[in-house]
Chain A
Amino acid sequence: SQTIHQWPATLVQPVGSPLSLECTVEGTSNPNLYWYRQAAGRGLQLLFYSVGIGQISSEVPQNLSASRPQDRQFILSSKKLLLSDSGFYLCAWSANTGNLLFFGPGTRLTVL
């Protein structure tokens, strides 16, 4: 069966520091991968999605970036965090031709 992992589970970072969140999927090949952000008391906002290695689409302008160095690895990064980057970050995957998303456990990021 397929599983999706995210780490770290929680992270506290100062403003201006870099960020790297990792997501990996097991048990499937060539998945579509997604990064969502959930700010406190708000819904989920799609940040990035990827249909293959090195293929990244950005949905909203921001100081975050994403990369997909391997088929089942998706990384969310920032060079300098802002206070507004605080939130709950969720990675998700779907089959390449599918529209059914499966979510990881999430990373709670607090920027101080």
Chain B
Amino acid sequence: AQSVTQPDIHITVSEGASLELRCNYSYGATPYLFWYVQSPGQGLQLLLKYFSGDTLVQGIKGFEAEFKRSQSSFNLRKPSVHWSDAAEYFCAVWGGARQLTFGSGTQLTVLP
């Protein structure tokens, strides 16, 4: 069965600083990978996805992620964070059988 690990429960960065959120997955075949963002009390919004092709994918709100098969990673990055990026971020892997498995999430705090 597939699994996702987000090793950082909470990350704090200053506004304008760069950001990298880590995600490692476990899946036997080529994975479909996703990043979602959740603001407090809200549903999940899709930031970006990787299905195949270019390993660097661009998403909404200036986010990007890089798929590295050798490291089983799909880290999310943003060159300059904004206060509005404060939220919880979830990495997910699609493992077939209609199963989207999520990591436990990373809470991002942005300092002014």
Interface residues of A (CB under 8 A from B): 32, 34, 42-44, 46, 49, 51, 57, 90, 92, 94, 99-106, 108
A44 x B102 contact (CB < 8 A): yes
Contact of A46 among B43, B100, B104 (CB under 8 A): B100
Q: Looking at chain A's contact residues, is the secondary structure mostly helix, strand, loop, or mixed?
A: strand
Chain B residues contacting A51 (CB-CB under 8 Å) are 98
Q: Which 5 A-B pairs have the closest CB atoms?
A: A43-B104, A103-B43, A103-B44, A99-B94, A44-B102
- Complex: chain B residue closest to A9, CB-CB: B41
Q: A43-B90, A51-B98 are in contact. Are A106 and B103 (CB under 8 A)?
A: no
A99 x B32 contact (CB < 8 A): yes
Kindly identify, within residues 1 to 55 of chain B, every residue whose CB is under 8 Å from any CB belonging to chain A: 32, 34, 36, 41-46, 49
CB distance from A101 to the nearest CB of B (A): 6
Interface contact tally, CB-CB below 8 A: 43
Contact of B99 among A43, A46, A90, A92 (CB under 8 A): A46
- Please classify how large the interface on chain B is, using the bins under 10, 10 to 19, 20 to 34, 35 or more: 20 to 34
CB distance from A25 to the nearest CB of B (A): 13
Chain B residues contacting A105 (CB-CB under 8 Å) are 42-43
- CA A57 – CA B45 in complex, angstroms? 24
CB distance from B111 to the nearest CB of A (A): 22
- Complex: chain B residue closest to A51, CB-CB: B98
Chain B residues contacting A106 (CB-CB under 8 Å) are 41-43
Chain A residues contacting B42 (CB-CB under 8 Å) are 105-106
B49 x A100 contact (CB < 8 A): yes
- CA A43 – CA B25 in complex, angstroms? 15
14 contacts between A and B (CB under 8 A): A44-B44, A44-B90, A46-B100, A90-B43, A94-B98, A99-B32, A99-B100, A100-B49, A103-B43, A104-B43, A105-B42, A105-B43, A106-B41, A106-B43
